[in-house]
Amino acid sequence: MASTSTSSSSSSSSSSSSSSLIRSSASNTDEWNLRKKYVEGFLQRLGASKDLPETHQKKGFVSDMMRNLLKVDRIGRGRIVCHLTVKRLVTNAYGTFHGGTVAGVAELIAIACARTVVDEDRKLFLGEMSLSYLSASAINVELEIDGCIVKSGRNVTTTSVEFRVRGTKKVVYTARATFFTAPVSKV
């Protein structure tokens, strides 16, 4: 008898939980529709699906924009120090330095740093790059970018790039890149 009452109570409990799942699915659908409308509005406010101005569609626009930001302070064997000021052109929807631009600048500095130790006739290939976004940088913040060689061998070169707020020296972004070099053909 005890098992019958347990079985009926568990069947009653399972029918109760399945009906709550149905109710929760209906509310999840309403919640999903609200969330979807919010995300669509967010993307529209960012300008998704709009055409870029003609001047922004030329090949190399983003690279030109990043190079225009950088000001070189020092170049030495295995080390490059630059600075830049965060401009509105390179900020995200939150008014801080855009992560894609941080990555692009880090790659540019890492390549230049590797070139201080790798011969011109050897091609460099970016094999791996990692970035850490430790803090945000607002418009008009001046950043110092310090790139250095961590390790350089015959076919592999590893670099480190740090972005610091000029004045306070607070580290806001770090990057590490590994480059492979193709051996020179002796034909």
The answer to the question of residue 143 being in a domain is yes
What integer best gives the mean pLDDT of the chain? 82
Task: Write b or e for each residue in 95-125: b if 16 or more Cβ atoms lie within 10 A of its Cβ, otherwise e.
Answer: ebbbeebbbbbbbbbbbbbbbbebeeebebe
pLDDT per position as a tens digit, 142-165: 999 999 999 999 999 999 999 999
Model-wide pTM > 0.85? no
φ, ψ of residue 116 in degrees (nearest 5): -70, -15
* Between 12 and 131, the higher pLDDT residue: 131
Distance CA 43, CA 60 (A): 25
Domain count, the chain: 1
Pick the more confident residue, 53 or 90.
Answer: 90
Cβ within 8 Å of residue 125, ≥6 positions away: 179, 180, 181, 182
37 assigned to some structural domain: no
Q: In the predicted model, is pLDDT for residue 180 greater than 70?
A: yes
Evaluate whether residue 93 is within a structural domain. Answer: yes
Domain ranges, residue 127: 71-182
106 domain residue, yes or no: yes
Is 6 a member of any domain?
A: no
Assign 40 a pLDDT band (cuts: 50, 70, 90): confident
pLDDT at 125: 92
pLDDT of 186 over the 80 cut: no
Question: Is 78 a domain residue?
Answer: yes
Alpha carbon distance 28, 115 (integer Å)? 54
- As given in the structure block, the two tokens for residue 39 are 């995300």
Q: How far is CA 45 from the centre of its chain?
A: 21
pLDDT at 26 over 60: no
Domain assignment of residue 147, yes or no: yes
Helix (H, G, I), strand (E, B) or coil at 87: coil
The residue-averaged pLDDT of 6-12 equals 45
pLDDT score recorded for residue 160: 98
At 20 the three-state DSSP class reads helix
Weakest mean pLDDT among 28-42, 84-98, 169-183: 28-42
Crossing angle of helices 99-115 and 61-69, in 10° steps, is 80
Q: What is the CATH number of the domain that holds 174?
A: 3.10.129.10
The pLDDT of residue 21 is: 47
pLDDT tens string 166-177: 999 999 999 999
Which tokens in the block code for residue 54? 């003609």
> What pLDDT is recorded for position 120?
86
User: What is the C-alpha end-to-end distance of the chain, expressed in Å?
Assistant: 91
Average pLDDT of the residues in 125-136 = 96
The confidence score (pLDDT) of residue 182 equals 78
State residue 44's pLDDT score: 76
pLDDT at residue 77 greater than cutoff 90: yes
